Structure 1
């Protein structure tokens, strides 16, 4: 244990995660988080209890409401969102489509969707599809891949034709931490809506969607929310958009679970009131259980403490990179106030280095161009783990040069 671990008030929480007592150095928590130990027990109990014993009765005993229950937990714990605005279900891609398509419909007559060229590929691909479907065009923002979109850049491209702005709160490549309230205000000044992708910030960086006056947001739950591979995503829609009597938000995938009376099974679709209208098919009940466990832990610790640990880990990684990795460039903001929960290090041999590190049970991620990405999950990553990982990077690069 390093001195930093000895001084870390959150160090003991690491023991609650599966695998942290082994030799594996896991530095990819922003791709897939470690499971909580309690989740294994919970899944076993669920199979034998709620599922195995109650069977179909489980829908009436809690499953039907679970997407909204977990959504409210998520909003309260991580999003800074009042109840009734967040729901869990579908994949991130599907919810991005639903949110984008619903948003542009709320701005009829406007012809543009604004998106930056370094946004996550899925966001760009979905935006392209929605633009073609609706006869709109994409307005691109060119950004530095070691940084992200600024208010100045957004101000230059939005205008009276902007229907929607699509932004990531934390850039997947650089970890650039966007100015949430500032960018939202710029879009609103132009009469546009904003859709935030929170996949790389939720559970790592405190959010305040209601205070930002945010419109819509989508995020996944398998990174810092430790929901497991394929865990369902979530969508937030501001209450003012849900309750607008003149132009209520309408999502494009009309399924029975988003209907006002799912079991009426009538000939026509009528949307449910509130956030439930964003649902389509049967809720992924099993996939929400692990998310609930992590939300309970985040609620116990508090997001401010989680963020403080995240900043400490990324500062430690940057300091070690400066010391141990000559010829390597820090491709993330050095200012902690502009950096999310990961650090990207660029070197011409990082692709080969990543493959070699995985063979040594040191698991970072790789992102072009030449980027070794260190996803440092605050509650399951130790300072010692970061140091062992960076020393292994040095050894691998020395062997490749």
Structure 2
């Protein structure tokens, strides 16, 4: 399971932030160089045909599909996650024209909420966004709801929704589901087909290690993809894009959800990153991540009893991260980074650490605990330099 040699990690650094940006896969540099030199450089525009650039979105979609429990031919890659959420939400609303409620979790990732708010304003049809605490969502699933829009794993606490149960309940009242898999794909078992999920989207730069700005993926249940007319009708989603017809005609199945030109170089890096998952048992990977997370949590809490754990104790109810709250959380994280242990911070007071057994083992966790002890016992976090907020936290 441990594939540390597949990553180009700085010597001496314990990287606990793969839930925000995955590290560089060693093969990615050569893959991008090949795409630039042997393809773009040598082939020029012929690369679209001779190097298969135009097929990248669907070919990579088929590589991601097994990692999220989707069937071949149902996932495509391209654009950003925010755009994909907007696209999926619009598709779901179009399939439930008589309903006006979008149900989501209060504290869902802000971009998802912004996309919903923007779509509501653009449609001007009286839709409302109803954001409730996670515990109130089941009771709020009524026949008013058009779409249940949730991030499977909460970006702050790491708490995980029960996709199967909530999807079944939504369908029981005639609602559809849209799942954000940003903190799920590549980290834990996802079963879109088995759960009968309607739509899903996720990014590829976190646990899938596709690199900063790597494109998102989008899933639509096959029966939906054949009848939905995308709100973002891009030229590559046309049934015959190179006919350059003035009017849009949706392509078949997932093809209609393509929008713009594929980011060839980013997709080359992602393709190399996905090689790492060949032969990986995602369930076993997640089980090991839970063990590492518990080891880190126990150690950190012993060093600093004032930490308040936010991540659920039940392994079935969490993703592959551990999160704590502390009034000095930002400064603690910055001091820890200076000691070579990289985690991150989320407002207002959350210390957040991702556990990825592809490149982390128990020894790394023990080293992180030792360095955290140095930060706490030496009050290193009290340095004013660690209290100045960076643009990216």
Shorter chain as normaliser: what TM range?
over 0.9
Q: By how many angstroms is 1:395 displaced?
A: 2.4
- Does 2:157 align with 1:166? no
Find the counterpart in structure 1 of residue 209 from structure 2.
226
- Aligned residues of 1:75 and 1:83 also touching (Cα < 8 A): yes
Find the counterpart in structure 1 of residue 388 from structure 2.
none
Which residue of 108, 129, 139 maps to 2:130? 139
Which runs of structure 2 are paired with 1:106-145 in the superposition (5 Å)? 106-134=95-123, 135-142=126-133
- Aligned residues of 2:16 and 2:355 also touching (Cα < 8 A): yes
Counterpart-to-counterpart distance in 2, 1:345 and 1:231: 28
Partner SS for 2:247: coil
| Residues 351-392 of structure 1, C-alpha deviations (whole Å, 9 max, x = no match) | 111222233332111113321101122202232222222332
- Aligned residues of 1:27 and 1:386 also touching (Cα < 8 A): no
Which runs of structure 2 are paired with 1:29-68 in the superposition (5 Å)? 29-61=18-50, 62-68=52-58
- Aligned residues of 2:198 and 2:220 also touching (Cα < 8 A): yes
Find the counterpart in structure 1 of residue 358 from structure 2.
379
Find the counterpart in structure 1 of residue 61 from structure 2.
71
- Aligned residues of 2:300 and 2:372 also touching (Cα < 8 A): no
Find the counterpart in structure 2 of residue 145 from structure 1.
none
Find the counterpart in structure 1 of residue 199 from structure 2.
216
Find the counterpart in structure 1 of residue 336 from structure 2.
357
Counterpart-to-counterpart distance in 2, 1:58 and 1:261: 19
Which residue of 256, 259, 277 maps to 2:238? 259
Which runs of 5 or more residues in structure 2 are unaligned? 383-393
Partner SS for 2:276: helix
Find the counterpart in structure 1 of residue 385 from structure 2.
none
Larger deviation, residues 323-332 vs 390-399 = 390-399
- Does 2:375 align with 1:396? yes
Q: By how many angstroms is 1:42 displaced?
A: 1.6
Larger deviation, residues 335-344 vs 128-137 = 128-137
Provide closer, same or farther for how the CA distance between residues 241 and 212 of structure 1 changes in structure 2, counting only shifts above 3 A.
same
Q: By how many angstroms is 1:302 displaced?
A: 2.3
Counterpart-to-counterpart distance in 2, 1:111 and 1:315: 42
What's the RMSD between the two structures over aligned residues? 1.5
Which runs of structure 2 are paired with 1:267-278 in the superposition (5 Å)? 267-278=246-257
Which residue of 170, 178, 203 maps to 2:161? 178
- Does 2:177 align with 1:188? no
Find the counterpart in structure 2 of residue 370 from structure 1.
349
Find the counterpart in structure 1 of residue 13 from structure 2.
24
Which runs of structure 2 are paired with 1:281-300 in the superposition (5 Å)? 281-300=260-279
- Aligned residues of 2:6 and 2:276 also touching (Cα < 8 A): no
Partner SS for 2:147: strand
- Does 2:139 align with 1:156? yes
Counterpart-to-counterpart distance in 2, 1:257 and 1:337: 39
| Residues 38-70 of structure 1, C-alpha deviations (whole Å, 9 max, x = no match) | 111222222221221122112123111110111
Counterpart-to-counterpart distance in 1, 2:138 and 2:103: 11
Partner SS for 1:299: coil
Which runs of structure 2 are paired with 1:308-323 in the superposition (5 Å)? 308-323=287-302
Q: By how many angstroms is 1:293 displaced?
A: 2.1
Which runs of 5 or more residues in structure 1 are unaligned? 1-9, 143-148
Over 3 Å off, 4+ runs: none
- Aligned residues of 2:215 and 2:267 also touching (Cα < 8 A): yes
